[in-house]
């Protein structure tokens, strides 16, 4: 009975999703007045001018609603089911310089609620969709930031998502595959309490350091409303250091190279059943490069082509993924008249641990991704994504082909 109810619910969600998406795509061709409901910046509008006034005073409020539908069409674990998931996000950003004349200070709060079925039909190890998570209801981020020494140094303290500051390729931010936004060799967990230091000795160079609570390594669930301090037991910690060099900022030749080292301090089990290691570590490298910009002289122009490359490695004695390489590109404004749309492709390959205890029968898993992200209007975005996954899960399964639709509404 429960299986039948879930099937009917899945069909209902899928039907609603398709109807909504079709309506939005049709309506997006309609010319609307700039002050109309369809043309406003956010779904909930400007609240009679209150929203703009709050931003001018130093308080920016916002949010989003994301709805995803995925279907594995071949291979993997199973092709009979599908998955529907939703994520609701609320943000509050407080500019202390505007509010209290406190120069360079800022507080940010983000709440997230995620519901929906986890797509275990695919069985991949890289997670084909970053929205394909177990359900949670949590404070996602809550941090304080301070710029110091004429903006040569920045301090960020609180619950932080590590990928918001480290190791994420800029030109991979529109991919859905989780491994494209960070190397899966990196041993960090969910957003956690942290202390982060950033130094800017020149306009081109940035040095970044972070210490994060790693209670997840001891089995603690971070998907809640508790702010677990890095000083509270268990005392496991995740450390990361990164150096980056940027060039030709704002031009058609702009780019960035990052190199980082991470270390997870805490008991880590070995695949061979031997004594646990007291820590594990690894490194990663990321390259972002713009190769074309539609308006080369306009620093605010986002239309153009950029690609990324990344590589990471870890200890296969304790980590399921011993190395990873990936690359891809995104093209903003590929179609005339669709300046905000993004088309992209990418590949993400992981080499799996050879240790017998790791449980893999394949040497690798490789995901090929192609997507198109269409701006329906200012606050609605519809993205279609297809991924072909070779050796899904690394356990001698047939290659999977998973299709995903995601609708994002800016509130």
Distance separating alpha carbons of residues 378 and 410, to the nearest angstrom: 8
How many domains does one find in the chain? 1
Q: pTM (2 decimals)?
A: 0.88
- In a domain, residue 168? The reply is yes
Q: Are 50 and 84 in contact (CB under 8 A)?
A: no
Burial of 212 (0-12, 13-18, 19+ CB in 10 A): buried
Which are the contacts of 49, defined by CB distance < 8 A and separation ≥ 6?
Answer: none
What's the distance, CA 278 to chain centroid? 29
Closest CA relative to residue 280, chosen from 236, 241, 233, 220? 236
For residue 237 the two structure tokens come to 């910690």
Q: Are 312 and 185 in contact (CB under 8 A)?
A: yes
Strands 255-268 and 277-293, by their bridges, are antiparallel
pLDDT at res. 118: 63
- In a domain, residue 126? The reply is yes
A 10 A CB-CB count for 286 gives 26
pLDDT at res. 5: 38
Q: What is the CATH number of the domain that holds 233?
A: 2.40.160.180
- In a domain, residue 261? The reply is yes
Residue 198 host element (H or E):
strand 192-199
For residue 14 the two structure tokens come to 């899928």
- In a domain, residue 361? The reply is yes
Q: Could you report how far apart the first and last alpha carbons of the chain are, in Å?
A: 36
Ranges of residues in the chain whose predicted pLDDT is under 50: 1-6, 8-13, 16, 18-20, 22-31
Burial of 256 (0-12, 13-18, 19+ CB in 10 A): buried
- In a domain, residue 203? The reply is yes
Distance separating alpha carbons of residues 115 and 316, to the nearest angstrom: 33
Which are the contacts of 174, defined by CB distance < 8 A and separation ≥ 6?
Answer: 330, 342, 344, 371, 373, 383
pLDDT at res. 253: 87
Q: Are 193 and 157 in contact (CB under 8 A)?
A: no
Concatenating the DSSP letter of every residue in 216-276 gives GGGT---SSS----TTSSS--EEEEEEEEEEESTTSTT-EEEEEEEEEEEEEE--TTS-SP
Q: Does 234 sit behind a cis peptide bond, omega within 30 degrees of 0 on the bond before it?
A: yes
- In a domain, residue 217? The reply is yes
A 10 A CB-CB count for 174 gives 20
- In a domain, residue 339? The reply is yes
- In a domain, residue 12? The reply is no
pLDDT at res. 180: 86
pLDDT at res. 27: 47
pLDDT at res. 223: 73
The boundaries of the domain holding residue 240 are 40-410
Distance separating alpha carbons of residues 129 and 348, to the nearest angstrom: 13
Question: What is the tens place of the pLDDT at every residue in 26-85?
Answer: 444 444 566 789 999 999 999 999 999 999 999 999 999 999 999 999 999 989 888 899
């Amino acid at each position: 009975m429960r299986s039948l109810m879930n099937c009917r619910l899945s069909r209902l969600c899928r039907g609603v999703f398709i109807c909504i998406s079709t309506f939005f795509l049709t309506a997006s061709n309609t010319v609307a007045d700039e002050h109309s409901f369809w043309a406003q910046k956010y779904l909930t509008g400007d609240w009679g001018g209150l929203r703009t006034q709050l931003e001018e005073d130093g308080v920016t409020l916002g949010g989003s609603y994301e709805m995803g539908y995925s279907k594995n069409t071949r291979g993997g674990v199973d092709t009979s089911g599908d998955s529907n998931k939703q994520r609701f996000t609320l943000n509050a950003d407080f500019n202390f310089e505007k509010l209290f004349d406190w120069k360079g200070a800022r507080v940010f709060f983000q709440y997230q609620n995620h519901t929906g079925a986890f797509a275990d039909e695919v069985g991949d190890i890289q997670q084909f969709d970053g929205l394909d998570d177990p359900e949670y209801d949590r404070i996602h981020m809550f941090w304080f930031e301070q710029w110091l020494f004429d903006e040569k140094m920045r301090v960020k303290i609180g619950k932080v998502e590590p990928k918001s500051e480290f190791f994420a390729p800029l030109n991979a931010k529109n991919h859905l595959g989780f491994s494209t936004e960070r190397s899966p060799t990196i041993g960090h967990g969910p957003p956690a309490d942290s202390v982060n230091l950033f130094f800017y000795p020149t306009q081109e160079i940035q040095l970044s350091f972070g210490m994060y609570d790693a209670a997840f390594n001891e089995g603690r669930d971070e998907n809640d409303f508790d702010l677990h301090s890095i000083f509270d037991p268990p005392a496991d910690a995740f450390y990361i250091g990164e150096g980056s060099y940027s060039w030709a900022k704002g031009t058609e030749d702009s780019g960035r190279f990052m190199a980082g080292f991470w270390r997870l301090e805490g008991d880590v089990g070995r695949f061979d059943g031997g004594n646990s290691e007291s820590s594990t570590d690894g490194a990663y490298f990321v390259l972002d490069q713009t190769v074309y910009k539609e308006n080369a002289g306009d620093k605010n122009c986002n239309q153009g082509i950029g690609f990324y490359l990344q590589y990471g490695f870890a200890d296969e004695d304790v980590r399921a993924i011993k190395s990873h390489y990936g690359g891809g590109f995104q093209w903003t404004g590929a179609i005339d008249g669709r300046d905000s749309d993004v088309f992209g492709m990418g590949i993400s390959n992981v080499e799996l641990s050879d240790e017998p205890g790791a449980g893999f029968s394949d040497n690798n898993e490789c995901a090929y991704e192609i997507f198109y992200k269409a701006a329906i209007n200012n606050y609605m975005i519809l993205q279609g994504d297809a991924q072909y996954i070779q050796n899904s899960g690394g356990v001698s399964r047939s290659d999977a082909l998973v299709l995903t639709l995601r609708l994002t509404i800016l509130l």
